[in-house]
Chains A and B, each alone.
Chain A
């Protein structure tokens, strides 16, 4: 028999989500979305349930429901097993140097180091940083290449959300994915309120014959590109997600089209004080709880952006936001957590923070772990056996169980003052950096050599490709 799992009660009720669902459908049918692409509009024009007025498109609820029902959420085995995991990284241009701890612009060397570190800690997701020392037209290609060469899970399942900024770039990444046997997807970002980026849509339109998986995401900002209330922003997010997914369903019938679980029902908070996005705030945590409820309702994989903070350093501010957010999300049923390593609302990547987050995730996982309830674990006989003045230290049961009964932290040590001084008085950040350096140095995973050669060959070709360079407007 097991103790009952810890759970969080409250939040959006089923009938409230039913109501929001109806309203989202009604908004799609009456208000519609803008589709700024002639080709996509033509593709959709003859479908039942589609009304087009200029660039504004409205869908009947039946069609939207069909698109939602057709979506397949191809989750990896580790997710199915309920493993706790971290997705770490998302296009940061600045980072804390792993050797010096100083803030700097990210380079290709940092990209590889952070991928190796992430792999050593079993993290998933996108490539961690943008290699700013590499020509712009090659950056995203190198990010995929480095991820595939140096990690097992990264950029290879539904938890990646890598950009392919042009058709030419997407083709190189596609070719590399084929060569390496890795997953290739293309993502469409809606531009709130109710529109798309025409260029992004055009790349998807041109890729539609490949039969590739395409995902849809949107990031409405409360009070700026969406209503000021979190609930209102969540509703707009639902509306944009469902309408956007329907566009994908009609445009890309050969591929699987789905809502990206990475940003499913995202409703961003925005600071009117600092005029910037905000993560880790009270309201963002509340949004995460709504997001979890919606993912359960629609049967989407749950991954929560609880590792993201607005703090600029891996400090108490960052730890408080992450710890509270992740614990609450864990209690609400989340086991996958996203934006590991990101500081300053995603402006900075930190390897030290990834190591600290790994420790914090283990801490929370252990708090919430299942426990057996049994006669043995109540240890009644031991209590009888040890009399006044006795000790349990020399008991057989203690000897057999002491190492595995308690979670032993690697960072959050339980030493006393004297011991801490003797151990060098190291700060958590310093210790985390040392662990990160060690993990990078000892990382041994490598992709098959023939595959590596092929990836190198494709990359060399990309380097010489003027059309690729031009596709990113890098030439006048």
Chain B
């Protein structure tokens, strides 16, 4: 049945994924086991296929939605079992002055599906707002996104402020005009050119790759 659940995630069949998850919960199966052997195992395949350019964005989004619906359904059981373990806490935002969020939303959704706890601050996020959220959440990682050459400039002071606030969060950057060179220049902890590579980067940064 785990294989069936895994397959439902891969095919993005939300109805089937939630029905199977519910069945597991009703039977008293350990939520961790369902997550690991069914849902995450399915998303791992989706990730690999997306990375190999075999699965494309709309298919991946369907899988991520199915994963999200299934994990939402598991929440009450999870809490009963004493809580589950996420891969890490991530605060993500499009920097101040920038209202573009296609890439950021995709990264956020994929990271969540991969098992991270996400706090998505949306677009046009002020530096202080990002710092406050990172500290409040005790974030492991902060993700900063920008589409415009003029707004990516806000990354450097944001990184400085996050580091200066005493938090432990690593800061990663991404977006159309961002290059590895620029990521190094603003002293970020990492850069990824797409959502899948962002998952690998985040896993590496939290020591769970």
Interface residues of A (CB under 8 A from B): 91, 93-94, 104-105, 130, 132, 136-137, 139-140, 163, 165, 191, 195, 197-199, 221, 223-225, 272-277, 347, 472-476
Contact = CB atoms under 8 A, between A and B. Distances in A.
Contacts of A132: 182, 185
Given A275-B103, A275-B106, A473-B97, A136 B153 contact: yes
Contact of A136 (B102, B150, B160, B161): B150
Contacts of B202: none
Contacts of B74: none
9 contacts: A93-B179, A105-B181, A140-B150, A163-B148, A199-B97, A275-B103, A473-B153, A474-B153, A476-B157
B127 A473 contact: yes
Nearest to B105: A224
A169 to B, nearest CB: 8
Q: Interface of chain A, helix or strand or loop or mixed?
A: loop
Nearest to A191: B99
B160 A476 contact: yes
B62 to A, nearest CB: 12
B153 A272 contact: no
A274 B194 contact: yes
A104 B100 CA distance: 26
Interface residues of B, number: 32
Contact of B195 (A137, A221, A275, A476): A275
Given A136-B153, A140-B150, 9 more contacts: A105-B179, A105-B181, A130-B149, A221-B102, A225-B102, A273-B57, A473-B96, A476-B157, A476-B160
Contacts of A272: 56-58
B129 to A, nearest CB: 12
A459 B101 CA distance: 34
B150 A472 contact: yes
A94 B193 CA distance: 15
B154 interface: yes
B128 to A, nearest CB: 8
A326 to B, nearest CB: 25
B53 A273 contact: yes
Contact of A105 (B100, B102, B106, B182): B182
B123 to A, nearest CB: 9
Interface string B154-168: 101100110000000
Interface string B123-158: 010010000000000000000000011110110110
Contacts of B102: 221, 224-225
Nearest to B181: A105
B182 A93 contact: yes
Of the candidates B97, B148, B151, the one having the most CB atoms from chain A within 10 angstroms of its own CB is B97
B176 interface: yes
B127 A476 contact: yes
A472 to B, nearest CB: 6
A472 B179 contact: no
B76 interface: no
B177 interface: yes
Contact of B149 (A104, A139, A221, A474): A139
Contact of A93 (B57, B96, B100, B149): B149
Interface in B184-201: 185, 194-195
A116 B95 CA distance: 34
B193 to A, nearest CB: 9
A124 B57 CA distance: 37
A194 B201 CA distance: 34
Contacts of B95: 473
B199 to A, nearest CB: 13
B183 to A, nearest CB: 11
Contacts of B157: 473-476
B161 A476 contact: yes
Of the candidates B56, B150, B194, the one having the most CB atoms from chain A within 10 angstroms of its own CB is B150
Nearest to A136: B153
B169 to A, nearest CB: 16
Contacts of B179: 93-94, 105
Contacts of A274: 53, 194
Nearest to A475: B157
A379 B134 CA distance: 82
A162 to B, nearest CB: 11
A140 B151 CA distance: 12
A130 B195 CA distance: 26
Nearest to B153: A136
A191 B96 contact: no
The 8 nearest A-B residue pairs measured at CB: A136-B153, A165-B150, A272-B57, A272-B56, A473-B154, A273-B56, A105-B181, A130-B149
Of the candidates B153, B154, B160, the one having the most CB atoms from chain A within 10 angstroms of its own CB is B153
Contacts of A199: 97, 99, 124
A473 B161 CA distance: 12
A386 B118 CA distance: 84
B165 to A, nearest CB: 10
